[in-house]
Structures are given as structure tokens and as C-alpha cells.
């Protein structure tokens, strides 16, 4: 009598896509640990780490797109990534050169390369990670359904709260960008910036939902990693910026990170 494939220990072959995903995730884990320790506790290695921030942002964006390709299809994932990259580039370029919609700011040379218009390419990959990461927490697992208006607005709020944790770190500690005019609101960061983040984040979530939903039924069930990785990447961002804010006394940023995490946790349980 022939043994079943399961009893004989047969496993589905691991595709090159998944192998590469695992390899890149391993590299991300190493760089992430170095970033948390280095920035959070001011630990300086004996060699230059100027390249690490850009590489980490590239890795996060690529990882989240690769995971989305396994869940939604390569075409949908690339389409969503293209939408966020182009829209964030246009809005960031407008912001750097006119002060609208975020306020007057400029990027330094730490993140590279810098695109025409004064926006570093890693910033666009950061937008991809943020938008697709938040979406992974809010999306419905039931095929045929899109996010409601309330869902989209709350997702935009989660994006804005993350920026509340990012701003003290990026503008005051690491120096990724500088605000031209100091404001009296939230560590001298203008209120206009957070309104801009909320509007852009909400609109991007809405566009991505139109690209991804309804969720197709794949012929082969995607690996579990494809579902939890986008959530983990966004949670890692919240944790890292929250820790750095905490160790440097920016408690408003800590509160923003906590509120965003609380919103996502509540929403995940609701689903």
C-alpha cells in the first residue's frame, strides 16, 4: 500500500520568490537591530553606517511588495507600488519646493540618491512600506469586500500617528530632513505637516484598496509569511521610532507610536 505524500514527509517545493524573500528578511533583521541599538542608544560603530538608513528603507519597500505579490498577484502588487511611489514623489516634490502640503522643509544628503526635485529615493520606498503596511492591518480577509469609509479614515489616522513618532527622530536626531521655519507645535514641527500626512495617507490607502480589493482566491495558498510580514514591518517601524523617541526624551513621539499601535491592535482583533 502506497504511503500518502504527507505521511512520507513530502513538502511543497520552496519557490525562488520565497527563498529570496527569506534571505532579504534576514538581512533586514540584521540592519534593523543595528539601527535600533545605534540610533536608540547612541552606539557608534568603528566604521561608517551612512549607507545603512537608505538600504534599510529599500529593503522594507521591496519586502512588502514581494509579500503583496504572493497574496494579491505580481501585477496588483507592482501596480499598488507604482501608485504610491509616483503619488508620494509628486507630493513630496511639491512640498520641498513650495511648502505645500507639509510646510517648508528640505532633505539633507544622508538618504541617497536624491531625485530631481530634491526628494531622496529611499523616502518614496518608505511611503510604500507605510501605506502597504497599514493596509495589511486594516484589510478585510473576506473576498469581495473593500474597506469602508471609516476604515480608510482610521488607516489614514494610523499613518499620521506614525509620522508623529517619525518627525522628532528624522528631523531632530538623525537629520534626514530639516524644517525651514520652527513652529510652536509638537517639537517645532508645523501642524500643517500632520494634516498633509493624514490627507495623503488616507488617499493612498483608498487607492491601494481599489488596486487590491476584492482579494483574489489564489490557486495555491500563499505562505503565512506573506500575510504577517507586512504587518511586522509596520510594527517594527512603530517600535523603532517609539524606542528612539523614548531614549531621547521625545515623549510626544512615544505617545503617537503607542496610539497608532493601539489602533492597529484593536482593529486586528475586530477583524
Phi first, then psi, for residue 178 (nearest 5°) are: -130, 140
Select from 25, 60, 59, 31 the least CA-distant residue to 45. Answer: 31
Distance CA 264, CA 230 (A): 13
Distance CA 11, CA 47 (A): 43
Kindly state the DSSP code that residue 51 receives in the 8-state scheme.
Answer: T
Segment 114-141 shows an average pLDDT of 95
* pTM reported for the whole predicted model: 0.93
Tell me what pLDDT residue 12 has. Answer: 64
Inform me whether the pLDDT recorded for 112 exceeds 70: yes
179 touches 103 (CB < 8 A):
yes
Segment 55-75 shows an average pLDDT of 97
SS3 100: coil
Tell me what pLDDT residue 194 has. Answer: 97
222 touches 14 (CB < 8 A):
no
Radius of gyration of the chain (CA): 19
Tell me what pLDDT residue 181 has. Answer: 79
Inform me whether the pLDDT recorded for 169 exceeds 70: yes
Tell me what pLDDT residue 246 has. Answer: 98
| CB-based contacts of 181-185 (< 8 A; 24+ apart in sequence) | 181/103, 181/104, 183/103
Asked whether the bond before 113 is cis by omega within 30 degrees of 0, the reply is yes
- Count of alpha carbons within 13 angstroms of residue 134, beta-carbon side: 33
Select from 62, 82, 125, 66 the least CA-distant residue to 211. Answer: 82
Contacts of residue 201, Cβ cutoff 8 Å, sequence gap at least 6: 130, 131, 134, 155, 156, 158, 159, 160
pLDDT digits (tens, 9 = 90+) for 134-158: 999 998 665 568 999 999 999 999 9
Tell me what pLDDT residue 4 has. Answer: 44
Inform me whether the pLDDT recorded for 69 exceeds 80: yes
Amino acid at each position: 500500500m502506497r504511503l500518502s505524500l504527507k505521511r512520507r514527509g513530502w513538502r511543497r517545493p520552496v519557490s525562488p520568490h520565497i527563498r529570496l524573500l527569506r534571505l532579504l528578511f534576514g538581512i533586514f533583521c540584521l540592519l534593523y537591530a543595528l539601527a535600533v541599538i545605534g540610533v536608540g542608544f547612541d552606539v557608534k560603530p568603528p566604521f561608517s553606517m551612512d549607507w545603512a538608513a537608505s538600504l534599510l528603507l529599500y529593503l522594507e519597500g521591496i519586502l512588502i511588495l514581494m509579500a503583496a505579490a504572493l497574496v494579491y498577484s505580481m501585477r496588483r502588487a507592482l501596480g499598488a507600488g507604482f501608485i504610491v511611489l509616483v503619488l508620494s514623489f509628486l507630493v513630496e516634490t511639491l512640498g520641498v519646493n513650495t511648502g505645500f502640503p507639509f510646510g517648508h522643509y528640505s532633505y539633507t544628503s544622508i538618504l541617497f540618491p536624491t531625485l530631481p526635485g530634491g526628494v531622496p529615493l529611499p523616502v518614496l520606498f518608505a511611503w510604500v512600506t507605510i501605506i502597504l503596511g497599514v493596509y495589511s492591518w486594516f484589510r478585510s480577509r473576506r473576498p469581495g469586500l473593500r474597506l469602508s469609509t471609516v476604515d480608510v479614515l482610521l488607516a489614514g489616522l494610523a499613518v499620521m500617528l506614525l509620522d508623529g513618532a517619525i518627525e522628532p527622530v528624522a528631523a531632530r536626531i538623525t537629520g534626514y530632513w530639516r524644517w525651514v521655519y520652527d513652529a510652536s507645535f509638537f517639537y517645532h514641527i508645523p501642524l500643517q505637516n500632520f494634516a498633509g500626512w493624514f490627507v495623503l495617507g488616507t488617499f493612498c490607502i483608498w487607492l491601494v484598496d481599489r488596486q487590491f480589493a476584492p482579494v483574489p482566491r489564489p490557486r495555491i495558498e500563499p505562505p503565512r509569511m506573506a500575510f504577517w510580514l507586512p504587518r511586522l514591518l509596520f510594527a517594527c517601524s512603530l517600535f523603532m521610532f517609539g524606542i528612539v523617541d523614548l531614549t531621547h526624551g521625545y515623549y510626544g513621539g512615544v505617545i503617537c507610536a503607542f496610539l497608532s499601535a493601539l489602533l492597529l491592535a484593536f482593529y486586528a482583533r475586530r477583524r
